[in-house]
Structure 1
Amino acid sequence: MLPEPDPATCAALADDLRGVGFTSENLRAAWGESADDATGRELRAPALRALGDRTDPLAVLGRLFALGAHQPTADVAAALPRCGVEGLERLGLATAHGETVHPAAVLRPQSFADDTGEGEWWIASDLDEMARGGTLPEDHVLGVGGASRTLAALQVPTPAARVLDLGTGCGIQALRARRFADTVVATDISEGAVRFTRLNALLNGVEGIETRVGNLFDPVAGERFDRVVSNPPFVITPRAAGVPAYEYRDGGLVGDALVEAVVTGVGEVLEPGGVAQFLGNWETRDGVDGLERVRDWVAASPVPLDAWVVEREQLDPLAYAELWIRDGGTVPTGDRFARLLDAWLDDFDARGVTAVGFGSVLLRRAVGRPTLSRYERVGTALGARAIGGHIAGALEAHDRIAGLGDADLAACVLRTAPDVTEARHHMPGAEDPMVIELRQGGGYGRALSVDPGLAALVGACDGDLAVGVLIGAIAQLLEVDAASLQEDLLPRVRELIVTGFLAVVD
């Protein structure tokens, strides 16, 4: 296990990394875009080949820390004049064996961007498959993966006094949350994980992150937080002999019970108005849709919750099993893969599971009666762009119009968001469009098919006239009844305000 990190040694290592220019941009330039992309597929040979016999500090540390390759002791010592090889050993990041230094962990630069700007952290974690050249141990502490980046991009960038990072892992969410919070409490069932979190906080000079060991909400019983973020171990894993139970992804419960426990329990650690954001899997089983099952979990919370659940992907049981068996380092050949696949499919069959959804959950402890209940499927790819600001804006917009009746909404002045575009599709030679589509450039990148009345209203919302006045004018142009058109359009206007196509003008 990683030793308790020494602050002075962490500071010395950070100085050395800064002096070398140990950044993701510089590493990508050192071994090239193609090789850099290959490292994301657990292939290090192209990067090692590109570096050749270079012995400059960036190449040496790139091989040692980012690629997990042994390096000459003299070269490592020269690259780290302040920390030295002895410092790496004190931190548990490497071990010296005579004239060779062996990596004991990976340490990689990780760039980020949010509403306040861009930056980069150094993130240490256990040796991964690329560095180990084999399967992972069950107590593996994961580095920054796709799910980590997704949740980081979803975090709302609004000020908070106290934030809980539940299941912190290497601490990437805690670091992200600390940019907007006074203090962060980071918990995990793994002592190794919280030590990596402390190490990464020290390496990056981030104070105000407290770590605790324990399961789910036990370490913070009786406490409340303004925000909770969590990338919990949500992967559905058979409880069967011979199936590895990786701590970083498996919560030890049956099916999607771990996510259910987070949904039903998080409200009690939130301050009124506090927001929880986390990722999860949920099963469609016995004919009940997965999103409906999540809705039932929210209803079972002992405190009232606003809810916004977005399913980004859905897999059938076979595809889901194959995904996570491969994730553990087992290739789809041989008896081991077949045995694991049978275990997964038997487990799903036992509960009548026909699909597994993946997505994000936003819950807010309601002040009074809940007013937000959104359960939707959004399939557009987000990439690495941060949409936390968009999510915060959607919550604010919902709150602003939730109490407005139709007459009040008709009196509002709206403006079309600057990232909204319109496309019209015509049959050859036709005067009228067959399809009118509104597209959102930011946020979730939604695309909506709309009718001429709604398209005209969105096009006319320039921050000048009230919605009701615009609808009256559009009704005259379309030669339809104004009251009927308003009754038809206003519910959809509400949706466009919440989803960011339209904004209320103060």
Structure 2
Amino acid sequence: MTAVSDRPQPRTDIRLAQRLAADLDAADLRSEPLRRLWGEEADDALARGMREPILRALADRDDPLPTLGRLFVLGMPQPLAAVERAFPRVGVDGIRALGLAHLDGARVVPDAIVRPQSFVDGDGVGEWWIASDLDEVALGTSLPADHVLGVGGASRTLAELVIPASVGRALDLGTGCGIQALLVSRHAGAVIATDISERALAFAELNAQLNGVSNITFRRGSMFEPVAGESFDLIVSNPPFVITPRVQGVPEYEYRDGGLVGDALVELFLRGVGAHLAPGGVAQLLGNWETRAGTPGLDRVDGWIDADLDAWVVEREALTPLTYAELWIRDGGTLPRDAGFTPLLTAWLDDFAGRDVSEIGFGYILVRRPVVPTSRHLRRFERVAQPVSGLGRAFAAGLAAHDLLDAGIPHTLTVAPDVTEARHHLPGSEHPSVIELRQGGGFARTVTADSALAALVGASDGELSVTQIVEALAELFEVPMADLWADLEPRVRELVRDGLLVPYAAE
């Protein structure tokens, strides 16, 4: 494992960062120009850890974009003369002063990668340059303990979850390279970004300077210590939630391991977050949780969240201890063919067995402090396995629906525009054996309906009230209206809660 002291520390200097940004912009170091430069297939291969297709596409070109592509996207040394041409404003001395590269004779050797990262939010489409540590492909070895990760899959997942609403004060706890703080800064008045890693904070602050973002303040410390006594309208966190054995010989990576036993870090976050949420404030994070001694992980998470808070937890997948251990051992760069793999696997499996863990869940956690105290708190803990999309807006709509239902089912409803109906018939049958209501976006839920519920949904076009529809259906089916409504009411409430039925806009 690489020692922490073997690598230069990234440094911040707003003037040098601005000059570097001008050079990157002039060279057009953006996602689409790079993809055009070396081709879609080569670009996709890089995501799988292969850079040879890109090198073949670039051949011997030494103009600025290919030079920067090799130096900062692939993390490969480049000739000094070519790098000097690529950085006419900041110069080689400037990128050295920022801790992004060093000289080795007539070559410039990268000490970090700087890659374009596109994003889409409610304000439109944009792109940032994100500096982070050299990855495994560039290093040619396993990652050092204080590795600062760039924008990975978990970062993108959390970005899609965050509710797109304007807020006053926001907190990014465990900021890493700073990507969440940058995203939140677009709709927050002020952002506090914290991390226990000095190296991560240096990268995060450099990335803010590189992209001209000035409303982020950086603080070092563990968990909520740097913001003691403060409250926020939004808290986001992609914490180091990976469950790692605390035994000799098992590497601990700052970007993924919180230094606690089992899922204690997620528990610690959830037990402490309520004290830092302003009225109406929302916290959103990713996490792992263990099923122990037969107690489901979601039930354990429920016990960590204060009763006076709203909670919505979505479990996206659940892994066995063996599958989980293999996943994260491979993530650290150790493969089954390597001599160190079996000892690591043994340590992981022994650790899980010691707590009687049968399953490890992964998913999304949302916690909200109600604006005013209420007896009808949202407490929703569910497993969602199907593909999902646009979850930031779906979470916002779900919270709004919960608040709306606190006053009862709306007088008049209409079907959400992404909802379709599917009817399944047995061969030769006149009547459907199964009726399904399908949601096209968000959580993409499928709800099985009987004839009465399907008829109510079909008639919900804003012209008739819910009461009028139920009255007509009771007459059609020749049943007492009270009995029919007793059957339909909880299911209609659920359709409103899940966004398949929405209040009529004219109300």
Q: Per the shorter chain, which TM-score range?
A: over 0.9
Amino acid at match of 2:368: R
- In the alignment, structure 1 residue 2 sits paired with structure 2 residue 6: no
The Cα of 1:335 is off from its aligned counterpart by: 3.0
Q: Say which SS state the counterpart of residue 437 (structure 1) adopts.
A: strand
Q: Distance in 1 between matches of 2:453 and 2:101?
A: 62
Which consecutive unaligned segments of at least 5 residues does structure 2 have? Answer: 1-7
Structure 2 equivalent of residue 414 of structure 1: 413
Structure 2 equivalent of residue 225 of structure 1: 232
The Cα of 1:147 is off from its aligned counterpart by: 0.6
Q: Distance in 2 between matches of 1:449 and 1:347?
A: 42
Structure 2 equivalent of residue 133 of structure 1: 140
Match of 2:88 among 75, 81, 84: 81
Structure 1 equivalent of residue 460 of structure 2: 461
Match of 2:315 among 296, 311, 317: 311
Amino acid at match of 2:326: E
Q: What are the superposed Cα offsets for residues 205-233 of structure 1, whole Å, 9 maximum, x if unpaired?
A: 11110000000000001111111000000
Which consecutive unaligned segments of at least 5 residues does structure 1 have? Answer: none
Q: Distance in 2 between matches of 1:486 and 1:280?
A: 40
How is 1:225-374 mapped onto 2 (pairs within 5 angstroms)? 225-298=232-305, 301=306, 304-366=308-370, 367-369=372-374, 371-374=377-380
Structure 2 equivalent of residue 23 of structure 1: 30
The Cα of 1:460 is off from its aligned counterpart by: 1.7
Amino acid at match of 1:12: R
How is 1:368-383 mapped onto 2 (pairs within 5 angstroms)? 368-369=373-374, 371-382=377-388
Q: Say which SS state the counterpart of residue 340 (structure 2) adopts.
A: helix
Structure 2 equivalent of residue 67 of structure 1: 74
Amino acid at match of 1:207: S
Q: What are the superposed Cα offsets for residues 137-176 of structure 1, whole Å, 9 maximum, x if unpaired?
A: 0100111111100000011111111001000000011011
Structure 1 pair 9–493 and aligned structure 2 pair: CA distance change class (3 A): same
Q: What are the superposed Cα offsets for residues 44-86 of structure 1, whole Å, 9 maximum, x if unpaired?
A: 2222222222222111111111111111111111112111211
Match of 1:181 among 184, 188, 200: 188
How is 1:82-231 mapped onto 2 (pairs within 5 angstroms)? 82-231=89-238
Q: What are the superposed Cα offsets for residues 288-319 of structure 1, whole Å, 9 maximum, x if unpaired?
A: 00000001111xx3x72100000011111100
Q: Say which SS state the counterpart of residue 37 (structure 1) adopts.
A: helix
Q: Distance in 2 between matches of 1:132 and 1:196?
A: 18
Q: Distance in 2 between matches of 1:457 and 1:290?
A: 37
Amino acid at match of 2:332: G
Q: Say which SS state the counterpart of residue 464 (structure 2) adopts.
A: strand
| Alpha carbons 2:42, 2:53 under 8 Å: kept | yes
Q: Distance in 1 between matches of 2:45 and 2:478?
A: 60
The Cα of 1:380 is off from its aligned counterpart by: 1.9
Q: Distance in 2 between matches of 1:33 and 1:485?
A: 57
Q: What are the superposed Cα offsets for residues 85-112 of structure 1, whole Å, 9 maximum, x if unpaired?
A: 1111111111122221111101111111
TM-score (norm. length: structure 2): 0.95
TM-score (norm. length: structure 1): 0.95
Which deviates more, 343-352 or 51-60?
51-60
Which deviates more, 224-233 or 31-40?
31-40
- In the alignment, structure 1 residue 32 sits paired with structure 2 residue 39: yes
Q: Distance in 2 between matches of 1:20 and 1:480?
A: 73
| Alpha carbons 1:260, 1:297 under 8 Å: kept | yes
| Alpha carbons 1:422, 1:437 under 8 Å: kept | yes
| Alpha carbons 1:115, 1:389 under 8 Å: kept | no
The Cα of 1:184 is off from its aligned counterpart by: 0.3
Q: What are the superposed Cα offsets for residues 260-300 of structure 1, whole Å, 9 maximum, x if unpaired?
A: 001110000111221100000000010000000001111xx
Q: Distance in 2 between matches of 1:81 and 1:444?
A: 49
The Cα of 1:198 is off from its aligned counterpart by: 0.4
| Alpha carbons 2:390, 2:441 under 8 Å: kept | no
Q: Distance in 2 between matches of 1:447 and 1:380?
A: 10
Q: Distance in 2 between matches of 1:426 and 1:58?
A: 59
Amino acid at match of 2:361: G
The Cα of 1:26 is off from its aligned counterpart by: 1.4
Q: Distance in 1 between matches of 2:210 and 2:452?
A: 56
Q: Say which SS state the counterpart of residue 400 (structure 2) adopts.
A: helix
| Alpha carbons 2:10, 2:203 under 8 Å: kept | no
Q: Distance in 1 between matches of 2:329 and 2:172?
A: 27
Q: Distance in 1 between matches of 2:303 and 2:18?
A: 48
The Cα RMSD (Å) is 1.4
Structure 1 equivalent of residue 477 of structure 2: 478
| Alpha carbons 1:114, 1:386 under 8 Å: kept | no
- Aligned-residue identity in percent: 59
Q: What are the superposed Cα offsets for residues 10-68 of structure 1, whole Å, 9 maximum, x if unpaired?
A: 11111111111111111122222222112222222222222222222111111111111
| Alpha carbons 2:23, 2:89 under 8 Å: kept | yes
Which deviates more, 350-359 or 457-466?
457-466
The Cα of 1:480 is off from its aligned counterpart by: 3.4
Q: Say which SS state the counterpart of residue 417 (structure 2) adopts.
A: coil
Which deviates more, 479-488 or 225-234?
479-488
